[in-house]
Amino acid sequence: MEAFDYLDAVALPVARPNCDTDQIVPARYLQKPRSDNFGNYLFRDLRYHADGSEKAGFLLNLPAYQPARIVVAKENFACGSSREHAVWALYDYGVRAVIAPSVGDIFASNASKNGLLIVLLAADVVDEMIGKIEASPGLHVSVDLDAQTVSTPDGVSHTFSIDAYQKRCLKEGLDELGYTLTQLDRIEAFERNYAY
């Protein structure tokens, strides 16, 4: 996983509540191997017609939003099924942070295991941020994991909370196995001293 510290990037507004995991990555792609670039399937049915041509109105088809690495979404983002593929699609596309008032519980768990930062902010704050992004396509948002802040170019900044374990894993680019291996000395000491 890629280590996360500070990100200043184009933000993609998802201005609809309850954007579910089937919208993020349709079920027909769930049989693909993880080695596939799931970024190709991100919002597939919203981005493309059945013949593969782009839908002109979808934001990711607009040049200003195509380099997005941050998603700013309405409440209950990535609700629905437990598919880890939704995180893979976002991550493989290049998204490293999702800012929303709430996200699906299983999605949040999958995100933390795959290097995707979830930032929860109040609904009115997110609504204001979405308005700014829609008014200025290509607008950058900054996420500072050390300071635990999200900022917009006009100088408005908001703090967020994050679990210390998740923060460490993100900063060091560790998945669960990688974190366990950082504890190897302690594990071996326990095994040496454990009475069988």
Whether the predicted pLDDT of 166 surpasses 90: yes
Q: Please write the tens of the pLDDT for every residue from 105-115.
A: 999 999 989 99
CA–CA dist 6, 96 (Å, integer): 10
Q: Is domain 6-193 classified as CATH 3.20.19.10?
A: yes
**Sorting pLDDT into bands at 50, 70 and 90, what band is 175?**
confident
CA–CA dist 153, 89 (Å, integer): 27
Whether the predicted pLDDT of 192 surpasses 80: no
Q: What's the pLDDT at 130?
A: 98
CA–CA dist 186, 94 (Å, integer): 35
Strands 70-73 and 97-100: what pairing?
A: parallel
Give 95: exposed, middle or buried? Use CB within 10 Å, 0-12, 13-18, 19+.
buried
Q: Please write the tens of the pLDDT for every residue from 123-155.
A: 999 999 999 999 999 999 999 999 999 999 999
Short-list 96, 73, 61, CA closest to 21: 73
**What is the chain's mean pLDDT, rounded?**
93
Q: What's the pLDDT at 185?
A: 77
Q: What's the pLDDT at 190?
A: 77
